[in-house]
Structure 1
Amino acid sequence: MPSAAERTRTLVQSTCSAALLVPGLNAPGSDQLMPLTRNVGPDGDLFLELPADSQAVRAATHAEDGELTAVLEITDVAPVSVPHRIRGRAWVSGRLTTVPGMSGPGRMTLRLETGEAYVDDLWGAEEVEPDEFRDAAPDPLVGHEAELLQHLHAAHGEQLDTLCGLLGERAARRCAAHRPSVVPLALDRYGLRVRFREDGGCFDARFEFPEPVRDIGELRHAMHTLFEAAAH
């Protein structure tokens, strides 16, 4: 399974929505504290680009000796419609300072020096040490996951339905009796997670790939192997 540090880096470097939380700051519009871009530097610090006139930029500009603290909160929402659609959240906290000269007109880059990180997602809730966050790499599928899940949901419904056959005899009988709908929920280099929806509720199942995939080509092969196993 992906480590907590890898999952946190993946969320930070994904397209999930994020908000910068600065104690004592009440922005009149929520977009004031939503970074326009976010990147992770080689030391594990976050570089967040915001409008130059945002309250966060003004607060960081006038803070004394870099004593302004902040938290970046990332919310991960499934890209397909499922019950309980929020898949997880991550938080990265630390000192916030300005980095002049890195952005174009009307924008300013802020550095969030990573002090603490925490993730609470489909795998569970875990703390992440700053050095673990620094050394982790985002999942190689992060830039494609939303599109891939939407494609699976729209074009491969019949193949997804066959995954019931891989859950074991008891679960297969339950699927045959209730005929749940199967929705792809999450995808990473290690496997595919789906949500089975039935009248009485829903449950998740995780299908591991034989080997972690490194790119889309290897993913296609892994998915083909998975569906072939389910068909038999």
Structure 2
Amino acid sequence: MAAPATTTAPTTAERIRSTCARAGGAMLAIEGVEPTTCAVHHLLGDGSFAITVPVHGVVAEMAISAGAAGVQAVLEMTDYAPLPLREPVRSLVWIRGSVHAVPDGEVPALLDLIAEENPNPALLQVNSTNPADCDDRLTLVRLEVESVVAADSTGAESIGVSALLQARPDPFAAMESCWLRHMEVAHRDVIDRLADRLPPSLRRGRVRPLGLDRYGVQLRVENDEGDHDVRLAFPKPVDDVTGLSKAIRILMGCPFLNGLRARRPLP
């Protein structure tokens, strides 16, 4: 009996969940209205998204006026590379559905639920009575999801809400940006060793760290012919920092795998 194939990349649902965890803000677009920045966009257990919008803004007023019918809208999340690249956008996520007002009596419990997983400071501005927050007060609305689409350099894919609920963000999503910046600045030798794994045709140009997850490392090659993204997969998925460090060493062909100690620690 053949051994099951090793997963070498996150699923689309996993990538979306990681984007949700990383994206510092999202844009809510409604036809005929200027896009609204949403500091909080949290996936709830029923498959809808809880979103913060200005309490006296157009979106909040439209959601209240629409009642049970809701207002058709698209929530757009952009996943930016943590390093300055020629093309900084790694992926885009579009979540289409209808926006509904959250009854005042349900807001406190919903805030507590969101804060348990995502203690975003913006939650303190929801229905705030602090005079200092007068101009920045927010309210919660709910986006009932109808479709979810993600797009990156490989193309676009639509997924169902059930797949999104079953997936989890990458365990390193919150730390990825810091680690990639650290690798670029303090461990350029690591990037050079990883670049040796690339096909000869992709070694011409500037090689930059683009992504890091439990399945592997992504590199961006910028040269005169354009931008090229390459994934180097780990031998198997990893779940903690110790496993991540070892997996990167294996990709590098590092000799320090049999009990010897490296002179410089890797991220």
TM-score after normalising by structure 2: 0.75
Q: Following TM superposition, by how much is the alpha carbon of 1:16 offset from its aligned partner in structure 2, in angstroms?
A: 4.4
Identity of aligned residues (%): 30
Summarize the Cα distance change of 1:45–1:194 in structure 2 as closer, same or farther, 3 Å threshold: same
SS at match of 2:242: helix
Runs of 4+ in 1 over 6 A off after TM superposition: none
Distance between the aligned counterparts of 2:247 and 2:157, measured in 1?
A: 29
Q: Which of the residues 124, 138, 145 maps onto 2:155? A: 124
Q: Which of the residues 188, 204, 210 maps onto 2:229? A: 204
Q: Following TM superposition, by how much is the alpha carbon of 1:72 offset from its aligned partner in structure 2, in angstroms?
A: 0.4
Gaps of 5+ in 1: none
Distance between the aligned counterparts of 1:83 and 1:72, measured in 2?
A: 25
1:130 alignment partner AA? V
Q: Could you tell me which residue of structure 1 aligns to residue 187 of structure 2?
A: 156
1:143 aligns with 2:179: no
Q: Is the 8 A contact 1:16 1:75 kept in 2?
A: no
Q: Following TM superposition, by how much is the alpha carbon of 1:45 offset from its aligned partner in structure 2, in angstroms?
A: 1.1
Q: Which of the residues 63, 67, 72 maps onto 2:70? A: 67
Summarize the Cα distance change of 1:95–1:164 in structure 2 as closer, same or farther, 3 Å threshold: same
Distance between the aligned counterparts of 2:154 and 2:239, measured in 1?
A: 21
Q: Could you tell me which residue of structure 1 aligns to residue 13 of structure 2?
A: 5
1:23 alignment partner AA? E
Q: Is the 8 A contact 2:12 2:157 kept in 1?
A: yes
1:37 aligns with 2:40: yes
Q: Following TM superposition, by how much is the alpha carbon of 1:212 offset from its aligned partner in structure 2, in angstroms?
A: 1.1
Q: Could you tell me which residue of structure 1 aligns to residue 59 of structure 2?
A: 56
1:77 alignment partner AA? Y
Distance between the aligned counterparts of 1:133 and 1:53, measured in 2?
A: 31
> For this pair of structures, how many residues does the alignment match?
220
Q: Could you tell me which residue of structure 2 aligns to residue 228 of structure 1?
A: 253
Q: Following TM superposition, by how much is the alpha carbon of 1:224 offset from its aligned partner in structure 2, in angstroms?
A: 2.4
Q: Could you tell me which residue of structure 2 aligns to residue 78 of structure 1?
A: 81
Q: Is the 8 A contact 2:145 2:161 kept in 1?
A: yes
1:18 aligns with 2:26: yes
Q: Deviations over 1:118-174 (max 9, x none)?
A: 000134310011221222211111111111111111111122112232235x44xx6
SS at match of 1:88: strand
Q: Following TM superposition, by how much is the alpha carbon of 1:194 offset from its aligned partner in structure 2, in angstroms?
A: 0.6
Distance between the aligned counterparts of 1:54 and 1:142, measured in 2?
A: 32
TM-score after normalising by structure 1: 0.86
1:147 alignment partner AA? C
Summarize the Cα distance change of 1:53–1:181 in structure 2 as closer, same or farther, 3 Å threshold: same
Distance between the aligned counterparts of 2:49 and 2:81, measured in 1?
A: 24
Q: Deviations over 1:12-52 (max 9, x none)?
A: 222244100112223xxx6xx11121211112211112221
**Bigger proportion of residues as strand:** 1
Q: Is the 8 A contact 1:75 1:88 kept in 2?
A: yes
Q: Which of the residues 165, 181, 185 maps onto 2:210? A: 185
1:134 aligns with 2:165: yes
Q: Is the 8 A contact 1:44 1:135 kept in 2?
A: no
